[in-house]
Chains A and B, each alone.
Chain A
Amino acid sequence: MLAIEVKNIAKNYSSEKSGKFIGLGKPFSDNDTRVDSDTGIEGISFEVKKGEIFGIIGPDGAGKTTLFRILTTLLLPDQGSARVNGFDVVSEYKSIRNCVGYMPGRFSLYQDLTVEENLNFFATVFNTTIEENYELIKDIYQQIEPFKNRRAGKLSGGMKQKLALSCALIHKPDVLFLDEPTTGVDPVSRKEFWGMLKKLKDQGITILVSTPYMDEASLCDRIALIQNGQFLKIDTPKDIISQYKNKLWAVKSDTMYKLLNDLRANELTKNCFAFGDKHHVSMDNDKLTMDKLREELGTLGHKNLDIREIEPTIEDCFMQLSQV
């Protein structure tokens, strides 16, 4: 059985019908031949297998939270259908609420209740007790247990996040929805957090996680790249990287800004982006070798040139895909 099954889902936030489309999905262009729906909107579709960590990767405003809200039965889609754990999100929403855990992007537990009271509260709300599922949250909860009598509002960011995850897990959900769980969290805690997700996966919990950080993508089993309410690609991180069309070079010189402009001005350049202290360029490799590029850039006055071939990352793939 599939843990999540989404078919042609779309949601438009724009108030006027004829207005610009804002939200999840994308209107068909006028000359698109695939137009067969009544709405004229192409929704998104994907499937998540049981026990998978599925990542939704995309920039702010791409539609990640909208998708999460639809799947957690907080929002009705305009079109399409979705099933979570075999239940329909519209007609069987009550069953879904029993078997999913949701951790929204913003900390939303009771700030004036203590850590223990929050956990207890959510356990009761889901008709269970802390003791019953303590095994599942043990690793996470142990880290915040010393502060169990502290009010949730007075916890640090990382501890809040651990508490929120504990609360989302306390009823042993089949599917866990994590909406940007690591946004605003320090790198060490982020790493730790992904370690916890791996452990949960081993216990058979399906995890749908969204993040704007591309480096977290490689930690998922499969990812979907999303932009402007559209999926650009769904695949394993490895396959997405291997499908990168060209060779990727990292280029460096003394005058970086001029270098970026020169590279972009080159006819054979497919795309070129600034990446930290280097520029990542992919070129029409049939016509241009690395030596030739070095020569060309040298004549343009670049000193201390350094060009080397690198493995593309998810971020490179995203940049390339989002450009089309």
Chain B
Amino acid sequence: MIKYLLRKEFKQILRNPFLPKMIFIFPFMVLMVFPWAASYEIKSLNLCVIDNDHSTFSQQMIQKVISSNYFKLTDVSSNYNQALKSVEKNQSDMILEIPVDFEKNLSNGLGAKVMVSANAVNGMKGGIGMTYLVSIIADYNVGIIQKLLPGGAGDNSYSTIQTDTLYQFNPHLNYRVFMVPALLVMLLTMLCGFLPAIAIVFEKELGTMEQINVSPVPKTTFILAKLIPFWTIGFIVITIGFIIAWLVYGLIPAGHFYTIYFFAAIYILIVSGLGIVISNYASTLQQAMFIVFFFVLIFIMLSGLYTPIDSMPEWAKWVAAFNPLKYFMDVMRSVYLKGSNTLQMTKQLGALLSFAVVFNTWAVLSYRKKN
């Protein structure tokens, strides 16, 4: 029986003029385009300089800023108001103002001040630009100190704290290394959770569900026949995802593939359960689509895909604690970057298993209630 139902499902999916293409174009788009396009690395920020000193030091400093490649000198203004105008016109993102007597004060050991201001309409861009600029200036500062100090080479007479930074597990802070595993989770959520939900509601809306209901086919068989094709597709798609991650980004999980597949299997159970819950409550495609959007937005915003959970307010952390996406993303990133194994992720495993139980019980209960 289920064999025949499955054959019908696959036939329908393959015969759909839209769905099979979408199922394969979607992961390609997500994995090929997104990590390249969306990146926190900011290059060529437009910089406006107000040099009131016109000295060697000020020239050197500007030179150092420009040569970092992060900034592009787009404007040189004579005063702050003029510079502000250029920011308002969107020609510059940041302003660096060097005061009069910059070199003189520095040489006399009095210390000098520079002013840095950023356009924070896009807070992320402003913040990151500011950090870059400040660290370049700090770097320049160290050079100046060493040069100006009477010992020449600046031996022990003036000691500064030297910091060596090491980024564990992602040494170059590569954004893509961090995003690709998380995007795979999103793909699984869409394919194994929301697509079957929509497929079930579609049968409801067409009236074919009623035909099945008056037949001796048990409801569980019917739902299983709906889920299994998407589970299969889900596994195929993450496998394709692994291949793309390897070919395009050179990413190979530091951990084992079977750890990922094991967690993926549990995760698929969770999202399918949620999908069935949605299909039980929605009676039209429109309703189903809207509920799906609702969950997708909440899941993604509160998953740590873009913004870390730790930076969220306390209440948002609580909401995120009930987000299965978050745990599986955790797992994916840990396996890919750190090479964690199942034993090291018992907390996530526990959380995911309880989600699987809760959602699937809910699915059964809500189904009973509706009938």
**Interface size on A (CB < 8 Å)?**
25
Stretch among B8-16, B40-48, B231-239, B349-357 lining the A interface: B8-16
Chain B contacts for A126, CB-based, 8 A: 215-216
Query: Does A122 sit within 8 A of B, measured CB to CB?
Result: yes
Residue in B8, B207, B216 whose CB lies within 8 Å of A97: B216
| With A112-B12, A112-B16 as contacts: A102 and B211 at CB distance below 8 Å | yes
Establish whether residues A104 and B207, one from each chain, have CB atoms under 8 Å apart when the complex forms.
yes
Chain B contacts for A97, CB-based, 8 A: 214-216
Query: Does A203 sit within 8 A of B, measured CB to CB?
Result: no
Chain A contacts for B212, CB-based, 8 A: 125
Task: Tell me, in angstroms, the Cα distance from A242 to B15 when the chains sit together.
Answer: 56
**A101 to B, closest residue via Cβ:** B214
| With A110-B12, A112-B12, A112-B16 as contacts: A124 and B210 at CB distance below 8 Å | no
**A121 to B, closest residue via Cβ:** B8
Give, as a whole number of angstroms, the nearest-CB distance from B153 to chain A. 80
Decide if the interface of chain A is mainly helix, strand, loop or mixed: loop
Query: Does B248 sit within 8 A of A, measured CB to CB?
Result: no
Establish whether residues B214 and A74, one from each chain, have CB atoms under 8 Å apart when the complex forms.
yes
Give, as a whole number of angstroms, the nearest-CB distance from B15 to chain A. 5
A-B pairs with beta carbons under 8 A, tally: 58
Chain A contacts for B59, CB-based, 8 A: none
Establish whether residues B214 and A100, one from each chain, have CB atoms under 8 Å apart when the complex forms.
yes
Chain A contacts for B210, CB-based, 8 A: 74, 102, 104, 108
Task: Tell me, in angstroms, the Cα distance from A111 to B208 when the chains sit together.
Answer: 10
Residue in B5, B12, B213, B216 whose CB lies within 8 Å of A98: B216
| With A97-B214, A102-B211, A126-B215 as contacts: A112 and B4 at CB distance below 8 Å | no
Establish whether residues B8 and A122, one from each chain, have CB atoms under 8 Å apart when the complex forms.
no
Task: Tell me, in angstroms, the Cα distance from A72 to B211 when the chains sit together.
Answer: 10
Query: Does A20 sit within 8 A of B, measured CB to CB?
Result: no
**Interface size on B (CB < 8 Å)?**
19
Task: Tell me, in angstroms, the Cα distance from A107 to B211 when the chains sit together.
Answer: 10
Query: Does B115 sit within 8 A of A, measured CB to CB?
Result: no
Residue in A73, A98, A106 whose CB lies within 8 Å of B207: A106
User: Of residues 1 to 48 in B, which have CB atoms within 8 Å of A's CB atoms?
Assistant: 1, 4-5, 8, 11-12, 15-16
Establish whether residues A110 and B208, one from each chain, have CB atoms under 8 Å apart when the complex forms.
yes
Query: Does A117 sit within 8 A of B, measured CB to CB?
Result: yes
Task: Tell me, in angstroms, the Cα distance from A108 to B208 when the chains sit together.
Answer: 5
Query: Does A113 sit within 8 A of B, measured CB to CB?
Result: yes
Chain B contacts for A167, CB-based, 8 A: 211
Chain A contacts for B213, CB-based, 8 A: 73-74
Query: Does A238 sit within 8 A of B, measured CB to CB?
Result: no
Query: Does B297 sit within 8 A of A, measured CB to CB?
Result: no
Query: Does B206 sit within 8 A of A, measured CB to CB?
Result: yes
Give, as a whole number of angstroms, the nearest-CB distance from A129 to chain B. 11
Give, as a whole number of angstroms, the nearest-CB distance from A205 to chain B. 16
Establish whether residues A124 and B1, one from each chain, have CB atoms under 8 Å apart when the complex forms.
yes
Task: Tell me, in angstroms, the Cα distance from A124 to B1 when the chains sit together.
Answer: 7
Enumerate chain A interface residues (CB-CB to B < 8 A).
72-74, 94, 97-98, 100, 102, 104, 106-113, 117, 121-122, 124-127, 167
Contacts A/B (CB < 8 Å), 12 sampled:
A74-B210, A74-B214, A97-B214, A102-B214, A106-B207, A108-B207, A108-B211, A110-B12, A112-B15, A113-B8, A122-B211, A124-B4
